[in-house]
Structure 1
């Protein structure tokens, strides 16, 4: 009996050892997979998340007028595999720690996250496109101080390619002292005599 009273007294002093949920807040682990979310500022609309989604819970559709795209995540279909987060090249996809996913059957079609992302005109040619996120552009062009990441990220892929070609063409040897490189073509096919 003395052992029981000792344990009872210790438990009274220390308080409850369980979480007070649902009457209070509870502990949420940092790596808990709660629900998939997308950051519209980082999303490029490349579709890698859609292709890697095992449950088919992600849909990317173009706007009818061609002014942008809409990304939709069906939370009711998501299996929380996190492959969208793993393969997203810009880091736009993530898995939150929000585990409050209980819902009634009538609300299953309302459990979605949807963002409409508008295209912006290219600063060079004016074609509609999605600019590279600033953090990614700074990381990509950090090695070359001649490239302005802020200007380059607002160029369409075609204009970036042309600028790259111009920059690389300037690096080719242009002195008259250097002999041109001759291209020798050899044929592997046998010749008839």
Structure 2
């Protein structure tokens, strides 16, 4: 049997007199190190449901589904798939919609469904073809960012008209029909339907 080398004896003595490097978790609370990437925490007031985080998520832990009948967008976040890469945080258009916590890291569960969180946002739907345009919060956020420039869009003007009720008491027929007319520009329509209205107006004079 070989005797231990002096270097090994030295390491053994040092390990006896120095404190342990690892923490005694879960018996003792663990203190994360600086810039620790923990569970992503969503701020519902600053999240506009724009789908950006879902598009950049490498493991596809974030998914979106639109319910046109209820007029809501359901956002699903599966933290069991999350790799804590912070792509959702870095690409959030508001800069405040989601932040990786430096405190929350205990997300181990027996049932994986308990690691899935759901969020709902109200949709903006085309009154002509029924297509999903975006969420209302997303469009309102763009209004705030663009300021007066936002009203160069007919859709934005129509939303402002609905909010301020500028058309109340005026004789404006805003009923959507199969054959889109120029008057239908007063409705909330998607870019595709609006394009049809403009093309008909410019080239056919309807």
**Band of TM-score, shorter chain:** 0.5 to 0.7
**What is aligned with 2:108?**
102
Matches within 5 A, 1:153-192: 158-160=154-156
Name the CA distance, whole Å, in 1 between partners of 2:154 and 2:62. Answer: 28
Moved over 3 A (4+): 15-21, 132-141
- The alpha-carbon deviation at position 36 of structure 1 amounts to 2.3
**What is aligned with 1:118?**
122
Q: TM-score, normalised by structure 2?
A: 0.50
- The alpha-carbon deviation at position 32 of structure 1 amounts to 1.2
**What is aligned with 2:137?**
131
Query: Is contact 1:120-1:131 (8 Å) kept?
Result: no
Name the CA distance, whole Å, in 1 between partners of 2:56 and 2:23. Answer: 36
- Structure 1 position 28 matched with structure 2 position 32: yes
Higher helix proportion (structure 1 or 2): 2
Q: TM-score, normalised by structure 1?
A: 0.53
Name the CA distance, whole Å, in 1 between partners of 2:32 and 2:82. Answer: 20
Q: Structure 1 stretch 94-103 or stretch 79-88: which is displaced more? A: 94-103
Name the CA distance, whole Å, in 2 between partners of 1:158 and 1:59. Answer: 30
**What is aligned with 1:93?**
98
**What is aligned with 2:197?**
none
- The alpha-carbon deviation at position 139 of structure 1 amounts to 5.8
SS at match of 2:45: coil
Name the CA distance, whole Å, in 2 between partners of 1:83 and 1:128. Answer: 22
Query: Is contact 2:123-2:136 (8 Å) kept?
Result: yes
Cα 1:138–1:103 shift into 2, 3 Å: same
Cα 1:18–1:60 shift into 2, 3 Å: closer
Name the CA distance, whole Å, in 2 between partners of 1:128 and 1:137. Answer: 13
Q: Which runs of 5+ in 2 are unaligned?
A: 1-13, 126-132, 160-206
Superposed CA RMSD? 3.9
- Structure 1 position 39 matched with structure 2 position 39: no
Pick from 46, 58, 77 the counterpart of residue 73 of structure 1.
Answer: 77
Q: Deviations over 1:89-113 (max 9, x none)?
A: 0131221231112223xx1122112
Larger radius of gyration: 1
Name the CA distance, whole Å, in 2 between partners of 1:133 and 1:24. Answer: 47
